[in-house]
Amino acid sequence: MEQTTSAVESSFDRVALRARARRPRRNGARLLVMSNRAPVKIVRENGHERVEPTVGGVGSTFLRLLERHGGLWIAWSGIKDDARRIDKPGSDTQFSMLFPRLTERDVAFYYHGMCNRGLWPLMHFMPLNCRFETAQWDTYRRVNWMFARAAEAEVGSYDVIWVQDFHLALVPQHLCERNPKVPIGLFWHVPWPPEQVFRIFPWRSELLTGMLGSDLIGFHTPAYAKHFLDGCERILNLKVDRETSQVFHDSRTTKVGSFPLGIAADLFSEIASTPESRARARRIRKALRTPIVVLGVDRLDYTKGIIERLLGFERFLEHYPEYRRRITLVLIAVPSRTRVTEYSALKKQVDELVGRVVGRFSSDGWVPIRYLYTQFQMRELIAYYQSADIALVTPLRDGMNMVAKEYVASHPADSAVLILSEFAGAAEELSSALLVNPYNIDQIAERLHQAVEMPMEERRARFAEMRERVHRNDLEAWSQHFLSVLHEQCAIEPDAQLAAQ
């Protein structure tokens, strides 16, 4: 039987009181990070549980921030009907993780429903893939409220709250109403669509209002920030200052900015330089038995342009038969959201297309595509990055795209080529890549030809510039920039804000 809202509230109050009693008192600020999933996962096997780290550079950065400043990470444990608090093993006990309880219905309606079938395609400018249901929105609202209540029980007067991504868009407003003096930041890891596209969302005003509980909202690119400001101005009829990128509402202001997400560049470079990684890369190339290796790595998601990538590679083999038996495309597709119908259909489509290209062009022991439907750990993935002469990254729309930056940081020499969709957020920083319109199959083929024919001097110049940008704007620089702007925004006196209106 599903719990009522009051029952959930009472349960969380009890957990919060116990958590508050254990929380260490500090004079300095703590960081409270909030996200749908945590940087660790709880695995249950044979009646036993263990805590394992999850793969992901952003999680690693927040872990370092929390270890340095002390604080708390509030996220779902990945297990239904699970609520607990744990200390990160081997760390200062000032850093803990709190896991709100999500029921099976919560996971189905909030995560698989509203997040994956509603907001995800909407934010990627794909309205035809959107499915909006009132029951799912109601569950999304309730889960956001639960997360906010968990944070409210924890927050102190010196703390800073940093909410991550579209899963928790309503949390800032809930927190702001009860804790108006606590700095609240929200970073949006996916794109933000033009106002005309966003308008189709049935609860558009409530979503915008929820986000505006933040003092600072960050996006990957200026274009996404502009789209958000357009929505605030035209949907909520709020005053927007375009020069300072601020939205005025309820005698308060919310600053909106562009903060392109970086990666742990030094870590990727360090692993790539190890003898073990280099040896693994050589073994991969030897097994492929072709002088040219092209790599594509993605979650199996319809926004990633995997079908277009395969069609472009097929067109390349059609137009340039002299490269047959000389080139191999390694396609790594990470399983994703397998419970969602659209993703199962995509898997079938990719399987059939790979089979068609392999059946059409294979000869004399040469197979044009090596298709790996699996998830690799970081060290294994870096070896594949090193083994590839060309990275083919073709999302139809992407907030940033970490694969492009990881490839640049992992490659041992400035002799590789990155082909990158112009619709990835990373294209603004990595402008020295060969940019491509992923909807143009012939252009993908032409970019592949341009890459394999590119003189070494041009390769080195392009790649060196991208490498410098990736290392300059790494994860640490990104997080420091965001937090410094958040503190500056919250340092403005209330009277000054009112005067600005």
260-303 pLDDT, tens per residue?
A: 999 989 999 999 999 999 999 999 999 999 999 999 999 999 99
CA distances from 173 to 120, 141, 179, 325, 379 (A): 21, 12, 10, 58, 40
Confidence (pLDDT) at 53: 64
Q: Calculate mean pLDDT across residues 329-339.
A: 87
Active site residue 189: yes
Of the candidate ranges 19-28, 59-68, 186-195, the one whose mean pLDDT is the lowest: 19-28
Confidence (pLDDT) at 46: 77
Confidence (pLDDT) at 500: 39
Q: How confident is the model at residue 90 (pLDDT cuts 50, 70, 90)?
A: very low
371, two tokens = 């298709």
Active site residue 215: no
Confidence (pLDDT) at 94: 66
Q: For a pLDDT cut of 70, what percent of the chain falls above it?
A: 87
Q: Calculate mean pLDDT across residues 427-434.
A: 97
Is residue 401 predicted with pLDDT exceeding 80?
yes
Confidence (pLDDT) at 257: 97
Is residue 16 predicted with pLDDT exceeding 70?
no
Establish whether domains 5-261+478-500 and 265-472 are of one fold: yes
Confidence (pLDDT) at 63: 72
What lies within 8 Å, CB to CB, of 177 at 6+ separation is 213
Q: Give the residue ranges of DSSP H helices in 426-493.
A: 441-453, 456-472, 475-490
Confidence (pLDDT) at 495: 37
Rounded Cα gap, residues 474 and 266, in angstroms: 8
Write down the mean pLDDT value for the chain.
88
Angle at 262 between CA 441 and CA 492, to 5 degrees: 125
Q: What is the pLDDT of residues 176-196, one digit of tens each?
A: 998 888 999 999 999 999 999
Q: What is the pLDDT of residues 338-361, one digit of tens each?
A: 777 888 899 999 999 999 999 999
Q: Which of 165, 298, 398, 474 is catalytic?
A: 398
Confidence (pLDDT) at 10: 34
Is residue 9 predicted with pLDDT exceeding 80?
no
Residues 472-499 as b or e (16 or more Cβ within 10 Å = b)? ebbbeebbebbbebbeebbeeeeeeeee
SS3 string, 62-123, reads HHHHHHHHCEEEEEECCCCCCCEEEECCCCCCCEEEEECCCCHHHHHHHHHHHHHHHHHHHH
187 compared with 154, residue with greater pLDDT? 187
Q: How confident is the model at residue 472 (pLDDT cuts 50, 70, 90)?
A: very high
Q: Which of 124, 189, 220, 249 is catalytic?
A: 189
What distance lies between CA 334 and its chain's CA centroid? 14
Q: What is the pLDDT of residues 215-255, one digit of tens each?
A: 999 999 999 999 999 999 999 999 999 999 999 998 789 99
Is residue 26 predicted with pLDDT exceeding 50?
no
CATH of domain 265-472: 3.40.50.2000
Q: For a pLDDT cut of 90, what percent of the chain falls above it?
A: 71
Taking the domains of the chain in order of start, what are their residue ranges?
A: 5-261+478-500, 265-472
Q: How confident is the model at residue 162 (pLDDT cuts 50, 70, 90)?
A: very high
Confidence (pLDDT) at 79: 76
Confidence (pLDDT) at 337: 77
Place of tokens 């790539």: 272
Span 5-261+478-500 CATH architecture: 3-Layer(aba) Sandwich (3.40)
What lies within 8 Å, CB to CB, of 480 at 6+ separation is none
Confidence (pLDDT) at 402: 93
Confidence (pLDDT) at 57: 54
SS3 string, 357-407, reads HHHHHCECCECCEEEEECCCCHHHHHHHHHHCCEEEECCCCECCCHHHHHH
**23 half-sphere exposure, CB direction, 13 A CA radius:** 22
